Structure formats: C-alpha cells, structure tokens
Structure 1
Amino acid sequence: MSDAVETTLNRTRVAAMVDHTLLKPETSDADVRALVAEARELGVLAVCVSPSMLPLRSVEMGDLVLATVVGFPSGKHHSLVKGAEARLAVDQGAAEVDMVIDIGAAVVGEYNAVLADILTVREAIGAGPVLKVIIESAALTDDAIVETCRVAELAGANFVKTSTGFHPAGGASVDAVRLMAQTVGGRLGVKASGGIRTAEAALAMIHAGATRLGLSGTRAVLDGLPDQS
C-alpha cells in the first residue's frame, strides 16, 4: 500500500465507514443506549442492533444510521419469515437491513434458492432501505463466494457482507473481501465484519476493497489510527 493512500485513512475517515455493532443475545435496552452514546462520541456512520431491540425509544440517535439483522445468525429461517422480520424492522425505524442467506443452499450450489431468499427480503422492504447480504464467506469456496455475490447483485442488494461473526468457520478475511470486491466491481458495497479487532486489520480490509466495516470493538480499532492525515 502506498503512503499516499495510507494517510487518507485517518480516524475520522475510517469511523465514517463503521457500523458500530451489538448483537449479543444478552443485550439489554441499557446496553443499546450505551452503544448509541458511544457511537455518537466516536463519530461512526451507523449502529447495528438486533431486531428485537427496535424501535429505539428514548434514544438520541443524532445523525446515526440505524441498521439491524434478519435471519440472524444461522440464515436457516424461512424466506417469508425473513421478509416479515425485515419489513417490521423497517417499519420500526431501521434504514439498513443485514440479512443472512441460506448458507447451506450456497454451499451446495443452489443459487436459485439463494436468489429467491434475497429477493423475498428485497421485495418485503422495497427499494428504499439499504440491503446488505451476509454470505458467511469463511464457510464458502471461492467459486461459491463469487456466485453468491453475483446472485446478491441480481437480487437488488446494495452490499455483500462477509460474516455474521458467529459462525465457527470464522469471520472476515482479506482474501474473501478482495474476491468479493472484484466480483461486484464497485456496483455494490462490500462490508467486512467478523473478528476485526485492530486498526491494522481494519486497514487491511479497506485496502482489499471493503467500503463498510462491522465492528463491535470500534473504540480499540479507531484508537489505533491517526487523528488526521
């Protein structure tokens, strides 16, 4: 990576790419309020919470974007259930939806089923909300990553996303992000999520082609970056 490119990735610029995320099953309303307060302090783009935490009442969001997850974390929910969950989340204030595909279908090459799954959610929420498609890249071959990204684009997704962060196969990798970015060619965003805990890891993902980062340890990542270029 060149020094010229590196110096543009200061704390402020990286923060503007971050979905500050809290998806632990034991999360409380107080935890979400603390997440939002920290997100505003850190200057990130968005917060991502479980759909059961919506709507966010008595929470000062400021300019933060509100994101949620659908079919999380297994993806093995009926497509109609994912669609209903996504529609309810949007009705309750979510501007972005991160849906988990039927990973098993992608593993065995049933891409028409993956397409139908994504289309169901896209049709349920309409064209306005941002749709990010979680492909669980660590569980897929390179060929399956490419085909799943192509299907996501065909279905009208806005982003492809590496991981839930909950799969035993692992989270984001530089190689997967690079392959995803090459496949979508800038037509879709690429969200790297899962196991990104340091500034160095975050920068590696961005240089590989990530345009959004899903982070739970956001402060630690941002604290490792320069304040300005």
Structure 2
Amino acid sequence: MTLTRAELARYVDHTLLKPESTPADVEALIAEGASLGVFSVCVSPSMLPVTTPEGLAVATVCGFPSGKHHSSVKAAEAALSIEQGADEVDMVIDIAAALAGDFDAVQADVAAVRAAVPEGKVLKVIIESAALTDEAIVGACRASEAAGADFVKTSTGFHPAGGASVEAVRLMAETVGGRLGVKASGGIRTWDAAVAMIEAGATRLGLSGTAAVLDGSEATGSY
C-alpha cells in the first residue's frame, strides 16, 4: 500500500491521555493535530470542552482505561462528553466478561453507552485485544456490533498485555466485515507499523507520536 503523508494523517486520532496532561498540553495537541492534518484529537473527558478548528473532530474516552465501571457510570460519562462537544467516544468493555465468554454482558455494556451517544456521534468499543483470546476477540466484536457500535478498537495503550497487533486487527476486520470501522491503537510508533495496520484492515489509528510516525522516524510513548 502506498500512502502520502497527508493520506496517512487522515487515519489518525491524535491522542493525549496521560493522567498528568494539562490544559496547555491539550491546546498544544490541538494545534499540532491541526498542523498535521489528522482526523481528530482524542483527549480525556475531564479536559472537555475544547475549541478546535473546522475539520478537526474531537474524540474522548469512557470507562478508561480499566473498563471496570458500572455501565450506568460509563453511559453518564459518555453523555456528559457529548454535551461538552465530543464527536466520538471510545469506551472500554469489561475485559473479564469477554474472557469469561459472557458476551451478553459485553453487549449490554456497549448498548448502555450507545444509548447515551446519539445518532450522528461515533461510538468506538475498546476490547483490549492483547488481553483476549482469538475467540474472545471475535465474541467481543460481534457483541459490539449487535449493540450498535460504529467501531471496534484494539487497545487502551495502558494494558500490560500490550497494544495493537496486525493479527488482532486482521481478525477484528474479518469479524466485522466492513460493517464497522476498526481502530488500531497502542504501540504504533513507525510509518511501517501504521501502514501494516491499515493493510490488515484498520480504518482509524490511535497515535500519540503522530508527528514522528508521519515523518518516518520512531515515536516514543506507549499509546
């Protein structure tokens, strides 16, 4: 696959989710994202609302990073984020439910947040693929689709099991079959790694070291 720098940038959610991030850091993220031509900036919900230039979407997270929150709490967090200007919400499922094969619980969790994220706003579901078996990845993707998600996403970037892998992205893309988007995030630090994720089926990338990736150098950081 041959992509221009500008084409790759349009896949990117330019991300800052470090707990020590300040409002000044977020302002710098937005300025950098706009200059790089990314699709969106992704920030913690407590940093909302933010002001972005036209054409730059705002994403945030929900139930992050553990997913071990009551569904009603996730839904309330998502609803507030939408009220404060978020265009997209990336929620974390209960990873243990997926590992246990309780996909009804996963679906109910996603459905609760979907009800709080109205039509026209995007819901991405983080399944933490590196912590799951292939069977659980497939089940979590199917449950997310059944609950009305717009995307499935590999990782928070904070789990010790690791981030995105080409194999997980390919399996997720095969499972959702183009009906949902697939976001690869966590540990994507080079141009070649980013392109490999897209070739495997990713339709969005979560990057924190976006400038380095687009410049063809190696980014630092875990996300």
TM-score (normalised: structure 1): 0.93
Separation in structure 2 between the aligned mates of residue 60 and residue 156 of structure 1, nearest angstrom: 28
- The answer to which structure, 1 or 2, has the higher relative contact order (CA under 8 A, 6+ apart) is 1
Give the match for residue 221 of structure 2.
none
- 1:141-180 aligned within 5 A: 141-180=133-172
Tell me the distance in 1 between the aligned counterparts of 2:6 and 2:120: 27
Residue 126 of structure 1, CA deviation: 2.1
- The residue that corresponds to 2:44 in the other structure is 50
Please tell me whether Structure 1 or Structure 2 has the larger radius of gyration of its CA atoms: 1
Q: What code does the residue aligned with 1:88 have?
A: L
Alignment partners' CA distance in 1, 2:73 and 2:52: 30
Amino acid at match of 1:190: V
C-alpha separation in 1, matches of 2:53 and 2:147:
30
List 4+ stretches of structure 1 deviating above 3 A.
none
Equivalent residue letter for 2:83:
D
**Cα distance 1:60–1:135, how it changes in 2: closer, same or farther (>3 A)?**
closer
Whole-angstrom distance in 2 between the partners of 1:105 and 1:183: 19
CA contact (8 A) 1:131 1:157 kept: yes
Instruction: For 1:64, give the aligned amino acid.
Output: L
Native 8 Å contact 1:75 1:100 kept in 2? yes
* Structure 2 unmatched ranges of 5 or more: 218-223
Q: State the one-letter code of the partner of 1:18.
A: V
Cα pair 1:40 1:62 within 8 Å, conserved: no
Show the counterpart of 2:92. Answer: 100
Match in the other structure for 1:3: none
Return the alpha-carbon distance in structure 2 between the equivalents of residues 36 and 213 of structure 1: 17
RMSD value over aligned CA atoms? 0.9
Q: Find out whether 1:73 has 2:65 as its counterpart.
A: yes
The residue that corresponds to 1:222 in the other structure is 214
Map Cα deviations across residues 39-74 of structure 1 (whole Å, 9 max, x no partner). 011000000000000011xx3433100000000000
Q: Is the 8 A contact 1:150 1:184 kept in 2?
A: yes
* Paired amino acid for 1:114: V
Say which of 161, 181, 194 aligns to 2:173. Answer: 181
Contact 1:177 1:209 in 2 (8 A): yes
Aligned residues: 217
Q: Percent identity between the aligned chains?
A: 71
Give the gaps of 5 or more residues in structure 1. 1-5
The Cα of 1:124 is off from its aligned counterpart by 1.4
Q: Deviations over 1:117-139 (max 9, x none)?
A: 00000011222210000000000
Residue 16 of structure 2 corresponds to 22
Partner of 2:220: none
Matched residue, 1:210:
202
TM-score (norm 2): 0.96
Q: Distance in 2 between matches of 1:42 and 1:164?
A: 23
Letter in 2 for 1:207: E
